């Protein structure tokens, strides 16, 4: 098994892969979105392979829609990464905040948190796993077509605010923001003392269709979160939400074996 890279904390990866992928129907009716192949490589398989190549040896995958297919595809070990699974029963009527809460018993170490519909190159993980970072969010330039979670930063790349940017947001506002790539790194103390309690309060209030990023945004707004943005411009990644994203992914990663960075298309 691959050993942890010297000087690096021992991270445990959490991958959120429970959703149905309704915007990709009928493709996802019989195949979960995280298993859709990009030039022959399923999204989740690429994710675990990148984790293994970066020295991470354990991963927990939160599963829901067609969960048995995910387990059959990845098994218990892949690319030097030991894999276990956490099922979410009510995935059709909840959002990713419930998926993350379902994995709370696995959040007792430093964590790399990844959403299971992101196809990316290893260099993003390598930057995020720098020994001088503690709590960090991988980001890229916010382009006019982008939506979803985005952050504002100061001159030292400390995150000042996080927001969910809708499609109708003005271009001038988007120029001030950095789009999150949905790959994060959180230390154990932050998870235990800050993020998990905020998620628990949210779920107890009945807000189960909220993004976990909203809980993160409230922590940032209250101060003291000490989250840093890690810029990853000109590195290949794409969040696959709809048929256009899926088509673009095939072009962006046409040479899957290459680690060469290229200008990327970034989906919401």
Tell whether the model's pLDDT for residue 72 goes beyond 90.
Answer: yes
| Domains of the chain and CATH, by start | 12-251 (3.90.550.10)
The rounded percent of the chain whose pLDDT value lies above 90 is 75
Q: What is the pLDDT of residues 7-59, one digit of tens each?
A: 445 589 999 999 888 899 999 999 999 999 999 999 999 999 999 999 999 99
Q: CA-CA distance, 140 to 179, in Å (whole number)?
A: 5
Contact assessment for residue 202 and residue 172, using Cβ atoms and an 8 Å cutoff: no
Q: Which residues contact 67 (CB under 8 A, 6 or more apart)?
A: 18, 32, 85, 87
Name the average pLDDT for the chain.
88
Q: What is the pLDDT of residues 99-143, one digit of tens each?
A: 999 999 988 889 999 999 999 999 999 999 999 999 999 999 988
- C-alpha pair distances (Å), 258 with each of 122, 192, 254, 261, 262: 10, 38, 9, 8, 10
The residue among 7, 102, 106, 24 whose CA lies nearest residue 59 is: 106
Tell whether the model's pLDDT for residue 267 goes beyond 80.
Answer: no
Tell whether the model's pLDDT for residue 266 goes beyond 50.
Answer: no
Q: CA-CA distance, 60 to 105, in Å (whole number)?
A: 10
pLDDT at 128: 95
Tell whether the model's pLDDT for residue 170 goes beyond 70.
Answer: no
- C-alpha pair distances (Å), 126 with each of 19, 82, 129, 212, 259: 27, 19, 5, 24, 12
Which of 7-16, 28-37, 70-79, 164-173 has the lowest average pLDDT?
164-173
Q: CA-CA distance, 257 to 12, in Å (whole number)?
A: 25
Residue 29 DSSP label: G
């Amino acid at each position: 098994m691959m050993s942890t890279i010297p000087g690096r904390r021992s991270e445990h990866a959490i991958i959120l892969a429970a959703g149905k992928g309704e915007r990709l129907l009928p493709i996802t009716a019989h195949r979960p979105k995280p298993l859709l192949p990009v030039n022959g490589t399923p999204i989740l398989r690429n994710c675990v392979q990148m984790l293994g190549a970066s020295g991470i040896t354990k991963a927990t995958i939160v599963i829901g829609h067609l969960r048995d297919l995910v387990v059959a595809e990845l098994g218990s070990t892949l690319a030097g990464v030991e894999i276990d699974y956490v099922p979410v029963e009510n995935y059709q009527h909840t959002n990713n905040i419930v998926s993350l809460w379902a994995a709370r018993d696995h959040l007792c170490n430093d964590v790399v948190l990844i959403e299971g519909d992101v196809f990316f190159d290893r260099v993003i993980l390598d930057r995020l796993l720098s020994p001088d970072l503690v709590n960090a969010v991988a980001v890229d330039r916010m382009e006019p077509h982008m939506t979803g979670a985005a952050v504002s930063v100061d001159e030292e790349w400390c995150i000042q605010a996080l927001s969910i940017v809708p499609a109708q947001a003005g271009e001038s506002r988007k120029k001030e923001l950095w789009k999150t790539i949905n790959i994060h790194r959180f230390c154990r103390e932050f998870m235990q003392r800050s993020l998990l309690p905020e998620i628990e309060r949210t779920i107890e209030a009945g807000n189960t269709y909220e993004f976990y990023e909203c809980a993160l945004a409230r922590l940032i707004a209250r101060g003291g979160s000490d989250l840093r943005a890690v810029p990853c411009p000109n590195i290949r990644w794409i969040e696959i939400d709809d048929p256009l994203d899926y088509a673009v992914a095939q072009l962006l990663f046409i040479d899957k074996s290459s680690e060469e960075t290229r200008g990327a298309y970034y989906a919401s």
